[in-house]
Every structure is written in C-alpha cells, then in structure tokens.
Amino acid sequence: MSDRVVVAGAVYDRGRLLAARRSAPPELAGRWELPGGKVEPGESGEQALVRELREELGVETEPLERIPGEWPLKPGYVLRVWTARLVSGVPAPLQDHDELRWLGPGEGDTVDWLEQDRPAVAEAVRRLADG
C-alpha cells in the first residue's frame, strides 16, 4: 500500500511565514509545525491544504508552489509541503494548535520545529528571503 499523504502549508503574508505550535497529541505538543493535515480520499493535495487551513486556522489561502521533496512521518505517512498565500482572514488556533506566530526574515530558527518539518521550513525561509 502506498503511504498516506499529509499536506502542510508554508503560509506567507506580508513577508512573514506562519508557524503553529501543536497542542496535541502529547508527544508533539509544544513543538512547532507548518499547519496542515491528512489528504482525504478524492482530494488533491492542494484541495486538502486549503481545507485543513480553513478548519484549523479559519483562513482562506491559495497554494502557490510545491516545495520539492517528501518527508517520512510515522510509519505509513509522508509529508508534502506547499507555499501558500493568505487570501483572507486572520489565522486563529481553532484546532490542534495553541499558539501561532508570524516569523519575519531571519526569524526562521526562533521556534522549535518538528524535525520532519525542518527541511521544508528551511526552503520556505529561503524563498521568503528571496522575496
């Protein structure tokens, strides 16, 4: 069986990148991630990303580009990441998170990212710096 895909968004707004601190499950609580979740049957990765960001943060977003690569999570799951533009709304930690933070250029290392998110975060921060 192929791996289940989890999608996450490097959400940009006004030159900053959104980081979200997980509140659950206990083994991930307190660590920071790019927000997202599992792709449901029949959804594209982009569709799942837009839905997850709406559910978790209450915002509308537009996926821009896939960050090349795929990162293993727990057995049977892989992570894929897109950059995305905030279209409307103010992100709020509605589900899964207890804090959100906008990181400006040079602030990419100021939160404790989940290990599996780090390569995509590094690329997202590079793209942010390139403007």
What is the contact surface with ligand CDP in residues (CB under 6 A)?
6, 8, 28, 33-34, 36-38, 73-74, 77, 79, 96, 114, 116-117
By beta-carbon distance, which residue lies closest to ligand CDP? 37
Query: Closer to ligand CDP at the Cβ: 111 or 114?
Result: 114
- Rounded to a whole number of angstroms, the minimum distance from the CB of residue 65 to ligand CDP is 17
Query: Closer to ligand CDP at the Cβ: 31 or 131?
Result: 31
d(CA 107, CA 109) in angstroms, rounded, equals 6
Nearest to 122 by CA among 111, 102, 107, 108: 108
Residues 107, 129 contacting (CB under 8 angstroms): no
Tokens 């709020």 sit at which residue?
92
- Rounded to a whole number of angstroms, the minimum distance from the CB of residue 86 to ligand CDP is 17
- Rounded to a whole number of angstroms, the minimum distance from the CB of residue 121 to ligand CDP is 9
Query: Closer to ligand CDP at the Cβ: 33 or 46?
Result: 33
| DSSP 3-state of 94 | coil
Query: Closer to ligand CDP at the Cβ: 36 or 63?
Result: 36
Q: Omega of the bond prior to 25 within 30 degrees of 0, cis?
A: yes
| DSSP 3-state of 119 | helix
Residues 84, 10 contacting (CB under 8 angstroms): yes
- Rounded to a whole number of angstroms, the minimum distance from the CB of residue 22 to ligand CDP is 7
